[in-house]
Amino acid sequence: MVQRAGGNIQRAVGLFFARQQMSSRLSGYAWEFNLVQDKAKNAWCMPGGKVCVYTGILPMTRDESGLAVVMGHEIAHAVANHSSERMSQQLLVQMGGAALSTSMARSPQQTQNLFYELFGVGSQVGLLLPYSRVQESEADRLGLIFMAMAGYDPRVALGFWQRMAASQQGQAPSEFLSTHPSDVTRINNLKVYIPE
Q: Which residues are catalytic?
A: 74
Q: CA–CA separation, 162 vs 146, rounded Å?
A: 20
Give the 3-state secondary structure of residue 31: coil
Q: CA–CA separation, 179 vs 113, rounded Å?
A: 26
- Tell me the backbone φ, ψ of residue 43, rounded to 5 degrees: -160, 160
Handedness of CA 117, 182, 67, 169 (dihedral sign): positive
Q: CA–CA separation, 76 vs 82, rounded Å?
A: 9
Handedness of CA 83, 139, 161, 134 (dihedral sign): positive
One-letter identity of residue 185: T
- Rounded to the nearest 10 degrees, what angle do helices 2-19 and 64-79 cross at? 50
Sheet holding 50-54, edge to edge: 32-36, 50-54, 43-45
Q: CA–CA separation, 33 vs 68, rounded Å?
A: 12
